[in-house]
Amino acid sequence: SQLPDLLVPVLSLQLSNTAILHQIRRDQVTDTCRANSVSSRKRRVLTPNDLKHLVVDEDHEMIYCYVPKVACTNWKRVMMVLTGRGKYSDPMEIPANEAHVSSNLKTLNQYSIPEINHRLKNYMKFLFVREPFERLVSAYRNKFTQKYNTSFHKRYGTKIVRRQRKNATQEALRKGDDVKFEEFVAYLIDPHTQREEPFNEHWQTVYSLCHPCHIHYDLIGKYETLEEDSNYILQLAGVGSYLKFPTYAKSTRTTDEMTTEFFQNISSEHQSQLYEVYKLDFLMFNYSVPSYLKLE
């Protein structure tokens, strides 16, 4: 009967280490926000429209801000299990496209202002982040190199080709399905793009999607430690005993080496400009400047 007693301290030690880790991540966000508040002088008040990425789980009093290309499909599946009141029990039984149907999950922008404020104050809030350039390459590979993403090719590809490619063929202008990574980068750093409309959510900064300087997140999970962080959150939510975050070995997933390769052909000038666009995400979530960058 001695054994269980020995296990308890080890587990609580792991939890306290994890708690400290999340405190360090929170502090990093706070410090970055403070240090950069001068540059983001427009301390605007959030509008309901800013909150459409915040998924609400009433039953467990949790709010999850989803960031595309950071395991958001699986987290949305988990949120559907949590909010489905028994409709689903296994996240992986939910088809991926089903997880992205907006009516399947409730987002914070659907509430009244007092309800929003109450939830932001009292619910456990979390998000997941990823090395910004790895996330960007992942978005590029998914949206511009897959033949089935015709809506992206039409909506963005044609625009990118028109703006960035000299002597583009009529077919390329019509289809937009062969955008090069260099052209994608040129499009992102083009001031015209920024003025024209907000970035698509797949390459928008986490800073702009989740507003970590306005919303105080309790937990910041990282893609690099996805399983541990996810299961820790499920444990804190009190559902860890019956719900585990889906594990999967994705052979196609974008890696650091792959990202390095994609950046080989980007001029140092463009690399510097692109880093400026994503700089706050790098600083806020403690990602160092990639070693492959040739910054000006």
DSSP H or E run through 50: none
| pLDDT for position 132 | 98
- How is the chain split among helix, strand and coil, in percent rounded to 5? 55, 5, 35
Q: Does the pLDDT at position 2 exceed 60?
A: no
| pLDDT for position 149 | 87
- Which tens digit of pLDDT belongs to each residue from 128-144? 999 999 999 999 999 99
Q: What Rg, from alpha-carbon coordinates, does the chain have?
A: 21
Q: To the nearest whole number, what is the mean pLDDT of the chain? A: 91
Mean pLDDT calculated for residue range 102-131? 96
CA distance linking residue 90 with residue 70, whole number of Å: 20
CB atoms within 10 A of CB 63: 23
- Which tens digit of pLDDT belongs to each residue from 27-86? 999 999 999 875 555 556 788 889 999 999 999 999 999 999 999 999 999 999 999 999
pTM higher than 0.75, yes or no? Answer: yes
| pLDDT for position 65 | 98
Planar angle of CA 195, 197, 202, nearest 5 degrees: 120
Pairing of strands 62-65, 54-57: antiparallel
CA distance linking residue 163 with residue 168, whole number of Å: 10
Mean pLDDT calculated for residue range 13-29? 88
CA distance linking residue 124 with residue 219, whole number of Å: 8
